[in-house]
Amino acid sequence: MKSYTIMMSLTIGALLLCAGYLQASEGLNVSYTYTEPSEGDLEDEVGQHEAKVNGAVKVMHAENDGFDLFVGGAFQMNTWTFDDNRIDDIDMYKVKVPITAGFKAADNILMRVEIAPGIHSDWENVDGDDFRVDGNIVGTYVYKPDLQFVLGVGVGEEFGDVSAYPIVGARWQATDELLVALIFPKPRVSYAVSEDFRLFAAGEPTGGEWNIGEQDDDADDVDLSVKGYRVGIGGEYQVAPGGWLFAMAGAEGGRELQLGINDDEVFDDDVDLDDCSFVQIGFRLR
């Protein structure tokens, strides 16, 4: 219960800190996700709670060059719960400062470059091993006002261990109500039922890697790596100008976890976890 209280307190606190920037903000997202406990190779149920807060503020704009610079903040807390009383619940955190630049490479080509340094840790004995740098570079070709093609590459932990992954797909405004954004790794299709209510289907990777504080003199570099993929359906409702409450539910599959000590895996193979369901609620300002 202590972990859940800390999680919600930090989420609310981060939201209040962001509130002072709302007038100049380019976006604010707050979400909480509950993942149903499920068994796997460990033969004991493992559950997960996840809280996220992120936002960005535009700090520079050049009209003639089409250049924009954003500085953001992102907080994430993950709690893994274990039925096995021999294993303590695990709390992990990410605090990142994304810096994003957007500019026109040509009349119909838009570019976005992001670098996101941060600390990925359990906050025990924080050192250089807790420091990570994620990033991506993405180009958008505006074929028509209602159709754009996207191509890029990202580097990060979206699929577990730190690796490069493609960002590719298309965004099509099929009608005034229907938006199809089939862009890997986070596809989304939304339909506006009314001006204030939308339905959507979406997918997102759930990977991450964290450094765990020193466990003993012989094992001073311990990493927790997890991965999975969520697919769900949901809805969002506009409760204030630009402010949307949303909820989503669905399934999470491809779930694995691994502990590494001094770059050696604790288990011979990744520990597979059974597929499970999840629910997510949140608030989005755009």
pLDDT by residue (tens digit) across 133-185?
Answer: 999 999 999 999 999 999 999 999 999 888 999 999 999 999 999 999 999 99
Q: Supply 155's token pair.
A: 């580097």
In whole angstroms, give the CA distance from residue 189 to residue 169: 13
110 and 140 in contact (C-beta within 8 Å)?
A: yes
Give the Cβ contact number of residue 20 at 10 Å: 9
For residue range 91-118, what is the model confidence (pLDDT) as tens digits? 999 999 999 999 999 989 999 999 999 9
What does each C-alpha distance from 139 to 33, 102, 181, 191, 221 come to in angstroms?
30, 10, 15, 25, 37
Under the banding of pLDDT at 50, 70 and 90, the label for residue 66 is: confident
**Among 73, 129, 121, 124, CA closest to 94:** 121
Query: Range with the lowest mean pLDDT among 118-132, 133-147, 238-252, 255-269?
Result: 255-269
Instruction: State how many domains the chain has.
Output: 1
User: What spatial distance separates the first Cα and last Cα of the chain, rounded to whole Å?
Assistant: 33
In whole angstroms, give the CA distance from residue 47 to residue 82: 7
Reply yes or no on whether the pLDDT at 262 is more than 70: no
Q: Give me the CATH number covering residue 200.
A: 2.40.160
Q: Supply 5's token pair.
A: 């209280």
Side-chain half-sphere CA neighbours of 61 within 13 A: 5
**Among 126, 60, 68, CA closest to 92:** 126
The pLDDT assigned to 55 comes to 92
**Among 266, 273, 203, 222, CA closest to 48:** 273
The pLDDT assigned to 127 comes to 83
Q: Supply 173's token pair.
A: 């405004």
The pLDDT assigned to 214 comes to 57
- Which are the contacts of 173, defined by CB distance < 8 A and separation ≥ 6? 145, 146, 147, 179, 180
**Among 179, 276, 181, 191, CA closest to 235:** 191
Under the banding of pLDDT at 50, 70 and 90, the label for residue 1 is: very low
Under the banding of pLDDT at 50, 70 and 90, the label for residue 5 is: very low
The pLDDT assigned to 125 comes to 78
Q: Which amino acid is at 62?
A: A
Which tops the pLDDT comparison, 266 or 72? 72
The pLDDT assigned to 39 comes to 84
In whole angstroms, give the CA distance from residue 140 to residue 150: 5
Q: Which residue range is the domain that position 111 belongs to? A: 2-285
Under the banding of pLDDT at 50, 70 and 90, the label for residue 224 is: confident
Q: ∠ CA(86), CA(87), CA(92), 5° rounding?
A: 165
Reply yes or no on whether the pLDDT at 20 is more than 50: no
The pLDDT assigned to 63 comes to 81
> Average pLDDT in the 276-282 region?
97
The percent of residues above 90 in pLDDT, for the chain, comes to: 63
Give the Cβ contact number of residue 140 at 10 Å: 20
What secondary structure does DSSP assign to 68-123, as a single string? EEEEEEEEEEEEEEESSTTS--EEEEEEE--EEEEEEEETTEEEEEEEEEEEEE-S
**Among 35, 254, 75, CA closest to 160:** 254
- Which are the contacts of 139, defined by CB distance < 8 A and separation ≥ 6? 105, 109, 110, 111, 112, 150, 151, 152
Residue with tokens 């920037």: 21
SS3 128: helix
Q: What is the DSSP letter of 270?
A: P
The percent of residues above 70 in pLDDT, for the chain, comes to: 82
